């Protein structure tokens, strides 16, 4: 029975097509659906405004500044005394710096100071005051810190200073000024003297 109804429908639609009648089944279904839809909206709907982006302020980066309260804490100074000696080295003579404890009059002694920053902090404006030891005379032009500091010279035991020792005076006090001493760094400074 079902087969015969299906064949009949196909035949009717084929006949209608053959007769030049266009049957639009989609239109029939659309009109049937539209008749079942009812609208209940009574108020006009306002369009939704797009959300505007809000500029978020950048978070403030607070740099934690660690300050070492005692600027001299962790700084060490070591002083060594050397003399140049000529030594035999495998059949040849060579000059060598040898650490001394006793020195003869009129002999030359080199003083070397080591400045060591043992902390994790940079030290600023460190001044090493170096009066000449009793019984020695500074040899002009020999003070050095390998260009890592500024050297000042005094002939009146540190009351006044000049920036060079080329004045020819008998200087008896030196200052070595370091603008920065980085953490865990070591600097050397030195000068030559004659034992009086």
Tell me the C-alpha distance between 130 and 174, whole Å.
Answer: 5
Select the more confidently predicted residue: 23 or 114: 114
Let me know if residue 26 belongs to a domain. no
pTM of the model: 0.60
Separation of CA 92 from chain center: 50
Query: Does position 65 have pLDDT exceeding 90, yes or no?
Result: no
Domain membership of residue 182 as a residue range: 75-195
Instruction: Look up the CATH number of the domain holding residue 110.
Output: 2.60.40
Select the more confidently predicted residue: 14 or 74: 74
Percent of the chain having pLDDT more than 70? Answer: 63
- Provide the number of structural domains found in the chain: 1
Tell me the C-alpha distance between 66 and 63, whole Å.
Answer: 9
Let me know if residue 140 belongs to a domain. yes
Let me know if residue 99 belongs to a domain. yes
Tell me the C-alpha distance between 178 and 187, whole Å.
Answer: 9
Query: Does position 102 have pLDDT exceeding 70, yes or no?
Result: yes
**Cβ neighbours, 10 Å, residue 100:** 15
Let me know if residue 56 belongs to a domain. no
Let me know if residue 134 belongs to a domain. yes
CB 162 within 8 A of CB 150: no
pLDDT in tens, 37-51: 444 444 554 555 555
């Amino acid at each position: 029975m079902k087969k015969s109804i299906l064949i009949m429908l196909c035949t009717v639609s084929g006949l209608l097509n053959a007769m030049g009648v266009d049957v639009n089944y989609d239109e029939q279904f659309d009109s049937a659906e539209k008749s079942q839809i009812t609208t209940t909206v009574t108020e006009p709907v306002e369009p939704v405004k797009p959300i505007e982006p809000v500029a978020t302020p950048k978070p403030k980066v607070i740099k934690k500044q660690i300050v070492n309260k005692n600027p001299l804490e962790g700084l060490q100074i070591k002083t060594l005394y050397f003399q140049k000696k000529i030594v035999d080295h495998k059949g040849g003579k060579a000059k060598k710096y040898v650490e001394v404890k006793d020195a003869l009059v009129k002999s030359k002694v080199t003083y070397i100071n080591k400045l060591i920053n043992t902390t994790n902090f940079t030290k600023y404006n460190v001044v090493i005051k170096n009066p000449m030891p009793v019984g020695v005379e500074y040899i002009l032009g020999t003070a050095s810190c390998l260009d890592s500091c500024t050297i000042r010279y005094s002939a009146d035991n540190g009351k006044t200073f000049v920036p060079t020792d080329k004045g020819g005076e008998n200087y008896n006090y030196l200052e070595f000024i370091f603008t920065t001493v980085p953490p865990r760094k070591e600097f050397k400074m030195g000068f030559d003297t004659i034992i009086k």
